[in-house]
């Protein structure tokens, strides 16, 4: 078997794209989207009709409302292809607004349910800020499942699990980028700081019995992916899915609950003050969280301009 087929024996493979065709080819279980991926998709000729159709169908509405409709339109198309769940992101500009995030999540779920999609098939993506985590805590109690994104540190992961989040998406590649730039070292294999971060989070969750799912994200190469074989889920770009599908060779399971229970990690308790201090003490996580929010905000603005031009 190729590496992709072997990986699927240990880990739920998720497509990190807004490209329907890639999903049909690689047959992932779940799919994730974000403003950047949707912006990239709607600029391709094959997806332009979906954009134009959505704008026409909701002419006269505010741009923000049309974009919500567009996100759900993409989600519905994706759910017609995959058997599992789609992740739809809230507006990154709400990253420090708990009430605003809750309201946006309610609206997105209402759009899905009005279209006949059960909320169990949707994950609402929220930035792993303190405010975002508090929003997830409320939403999960209402049966709205959350995917906590822009996650770069164990304190963020712990707070998400304590809040009862369905799933977290630690960003392997962006952690790697930061350490490579800071140290000048091209990390590889088990020495990769991004890989080590996810290994630590996975081990912590399994050791202390948290049910929150761990989905490694933001990969730069297939080595990072294979080092996390056995993680609950891995969300992978079409380019890297293609490389895995084309490559032969044994894939070894690297993460397992049994292995995690043997680690010497200690349980950590975090209130808001402790969370903010721990995050502040981690320069990489602080910088990457802020940068990630800025980038998603910028792409949200670009998507708004694109929609406004068609309106």
Q: Would you name the residues annotated as active-site residues?
A: 125
Task: Report the distance separating Cα 95 and Cα 107, nearest Å.
Answer: 16
Cα separation, 180 vs 188, whole angstroms: 10
Contact 132, 148 (CB under 8 A): yes
Residue with tokens 């020495």: 191
Considering only CA atoms, which of 176, 177, 189 is closest in space to residue 254? 189
Task: Tell me the longest C-alpha to C-alpha distance in the chain.
Answer: 59
DSSP states along the chain: --HHHHHHHHSEEEEESS-HHHHHHH--SEEE--HHHHHHHHTSGGGHHHHHHHHHHTTTS-HHHHHHHHHHHHHHHHHTT-SS-EEEEPPGGGTT-HHHHHHHHHHHHHHHHHTT--GGGEEEEEE-SHHHHHHHHHHHHTT--EEEEEE-SHHHHHHHHHTT-SEEEEBHHHHHHHHHHHH-----GGG-HHHHHHHHHHHHHHHTT---EEEEB--SSHHHHHTTTTSSEEEE-HHHHHHHHH--S-------HHHHHTS--------HHHHHHHHHH-HHHHHHHHHHHHHHHHHHHHHHHHHHHH-
């Amino acid at each position: 078997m190729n590496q992709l087929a072997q990986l699927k024996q240990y880990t739920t493979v998720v497509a990190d794209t807004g490209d329907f065709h890639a999903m049909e080819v690689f047959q992932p279980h779940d799919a994730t989207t974000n403003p950047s991926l949707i912006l990239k998709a709607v600029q391709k000729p094959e997806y332009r009709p979906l954009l134009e159709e959505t704008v026409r169908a909701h002419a006269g509405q505010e741009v923000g409302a049309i974009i919500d409709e567009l996100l759900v339109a993409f989600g519905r198309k994706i759910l017609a292809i995959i058997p599992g769940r789609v992740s739809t992101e809230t507006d990154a500009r709400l990253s420090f607004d708990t009430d605003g995030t809750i309201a946006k999540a309610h609206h997105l779920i209402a759009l899905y349910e009005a279209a006949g999609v059960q909320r169990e098939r949707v994950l609402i993506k929220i930035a792993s800020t303190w405010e975002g985590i508090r929003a997830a805590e409320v939403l999960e109690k209402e049966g709205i499942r959350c995917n906590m994104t822009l996650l770069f540190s164990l304190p963020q992961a712990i707070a998400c699990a304590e809040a009862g989040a369905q799933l977290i998406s630690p960003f392997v590649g962006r952690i790697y980028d930061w350490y490579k730039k800071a140290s000048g070292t091209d990390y590889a294999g088990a020495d990769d700081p991004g890989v080590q971060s996810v290994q630590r989070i996975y081990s912590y969750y399994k050791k202390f019995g948290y049910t929150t799912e761990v989905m490694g994200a933001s990969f730069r190469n297939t080595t990072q992916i294979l080092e996390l074989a056995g993680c609950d889920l891995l969300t992978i770009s079409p380019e890297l899915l293609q490389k895995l599908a084309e490559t032969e060779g044994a894939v070894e399971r690297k993460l397992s609950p049994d292995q995690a229970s043997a680690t010497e990690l200690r349980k950590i308790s975090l209130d808001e003050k402790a969370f903010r201090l721990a995050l502040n003490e981690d320069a990489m996580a602080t910088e990457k969280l802020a940068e990630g929010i800025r980038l998603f905000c910028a792409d949200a603005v670009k998507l708004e301009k694109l929609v406004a031009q068609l309106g």
